[in-house]
Amino acid sequence: MSRARVHVSGIVQGVSFRWYTVQEARARGLGGFVRNLPDGRVEAVFEGPDEAVEAMVAWCHDGPRHARVTSVDVGYEEPEGLFEFDVDV
C-alpha cells in the first residue's frame, strides 16, 4: 500500500485533466483526489496498491490527449486509508 502526491505542470487546466484522472484512478481501484491549483498546476493524491499508484504517476506524465505536461513532481507519504477517488474543489 502506498500514497503519492503529484503536482503536474503545463497545460493541464481546461483540458479535462481532472475528469480523466478520476476515471483512470477509479479504474485502478485507488483512493484519493485531484484538484486544480491557483498557480495553474493540478495536484493529485493516489492511494492504494503500489503497482496501481505507480501506474497513475506514470499516466500523469502524459495525461489526457489535450494536455501538455511539462513536469511532474512526486512525493510519497504515509497512506491515510482513502478508498474513494474524486475531484476536490
Q: What is the mean pLDDT of residues 29-35?
A: 98
How many whole angstroms separate alpha carbon 88 and alpha carbon 47?
15
Which residues, in sequence order, are bridge partners of residue 34? 44, 87
- Give the chain's domains with CATH numbers: 2-80 (3.30.70.100)
pLDDT of residue 41: 98
Q: Is 18 a catalytic residue?
A: yes
Q: Is 26 a catalytic residue?
A: no
Q: What is the mean pLDDT of residues 3-15?
A: 98
* 33-76 pLDDT, tens digit each: 999 999 999 999 999 999 999 999 999 999 999 999 999 999 99
* 14-27 pLDDT, tens digit each: 999 999 999 999 99
Report the predicted TM-score, pTM, of the whole model to 2 decimal places. 0.95
Catalytic residue among 5, 18, 35, 68: 18
DSSP per residue, 15-26:
SSHHHHHHHHHH
Amino acid identity at 50: D
Catalytic residue among 5, 28, 35, 36: 36
